[in-house]
């Protein structure tokens, strides 16, 4: 049975040979996309976390055949640079096995909530187990990534504001004022969220 889906922005087909084959097995064993890690295969550890139509899920608990026409983003396509950099800077990686799943979960958290509290971070990461770090440095990395994303957005806003240098002095009917540009600039552009030059995928449904 052939299943077609978008994986990290690319149209992808996989031939599966049993109805219960997991998305995790398909990604790793058929598509050779080994960024998504296999640890427990029972949804306990979060190592295989991917975004399915934008929501974090355990790839081991999704049947590949359920993904026909749907959008999958792995650690390769779901994680902004600020999140990866923060994990490195803070030493939030030790053995690294849980890292891809954590990166995907953190990327999703920060997209929904720009500056989450410790409590929110702990709840959002409750499904990602790490046996090395004791989590403190991971939580620190989330704060660092959040701060970097905010300052990155401010830089983008400043850049956008200078794109209309005449706006302050010449109110034009059609030209947006700098302030009205800010909300869209605060959200990272979709192209920045993909890890490479592939075209970004559209919103689900």
CB 42 within 8 A of CB 60: yes
Kindly give the residue spans of alpha helices, DSSP state H, lying in 98-202. Answer: 99-112, 118-124, 136-162, 178-186, 190-193
85 binds other proteins (CB under 8 A): no
174 binds other proteins (CB under 8 A): no
Q: Find the binder of other proteins among 34, 39, 56, 113 (CB under 8 A).
A: 56
Closer of 7 and 142 to other proteins (Cβ): 7
Tokens linked to 189: 């552009």
Cα–Cα dist 173/167, whole Å: 10
Subset of 124-153 contacting other proteins (CB under 8 A):
124, 126-128
Residue linked to tokens 């749907």: 70
Kindly give the residue spans of alpha helices, DSSP state H, lying in 20-135. Answer: 23-25, 75-78, 81-90, 99-112, 118-124
102 binds other proteins (CB under 8 A): no
Q: Find the binder of other proteins among 35, 60, 110, 145 (CB under 8 A).
A: 60
Q: Find the binder of other proteins among 39, 65, 114, 182 (CB under 8 A).
A: 65
Instruction: Choose the binding region for other proteins from 11-19, 135-143, 157-165, 176-184 (rule: CB under 8 A).
Output: 11-19
15 binds other proteins (CB under 8 A): yes
- Within 8 A by CB and 6+ apart from 79, the residues are 103, 104, 106, 107, 193, 195
22 binds other proteins (CB under 8 A): yes
Q: Which residues bind other proteins (CB under 8 A)?
A: 1-2, 7, 10-15, 17-20, 22, 30-33, 41-44, 46, 49, 52, 55-58, 60-63, 65-66, 68, 105, 123-124, 126-128, 198
């Amino acid at each position: 049975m052939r299943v077609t889906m978008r994986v990290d922005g690319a149209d992808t087909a996989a031939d599966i040979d049993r109805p219960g084959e997991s998305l995790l097995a398909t990604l790793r064993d058929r598509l050779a996309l080994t960024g998504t890690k296999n640890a427990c295969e029972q949804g306990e550890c979060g190592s295989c976390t991917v975004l399915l139509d934008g929501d974090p899920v355990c790839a081991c608990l999704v049947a590949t055949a359920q993904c026909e026409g749907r959008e999958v983003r792995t650690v390769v396509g779901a994680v902004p640079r600020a999140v990866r950099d923060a994990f490195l800077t803070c030493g939030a990686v030790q053995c690294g096995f849980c890292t891809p799943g954590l990166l995907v979960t953190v990327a999703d958290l920060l997209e929904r909530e720009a500056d989450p509290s410790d409590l929110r971070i702990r709840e959002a990461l409750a499904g990602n187990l790490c046996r090395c770090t004791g989590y403190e440095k991971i939580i620190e990395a989330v704060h660092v990534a959040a701060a970097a994303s905010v300052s990155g957005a401010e830089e983008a806003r400043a850049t956008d504001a200078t794109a209309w240098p005449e706006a302050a002095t010449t109110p034009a009917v059609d030209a947006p004022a700098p302030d009205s540009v800010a909300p869209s600039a605060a959200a990272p552009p979709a192209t920045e969220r993909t890890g490479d030059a592939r075209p970004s995928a559209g919103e689900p449904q």
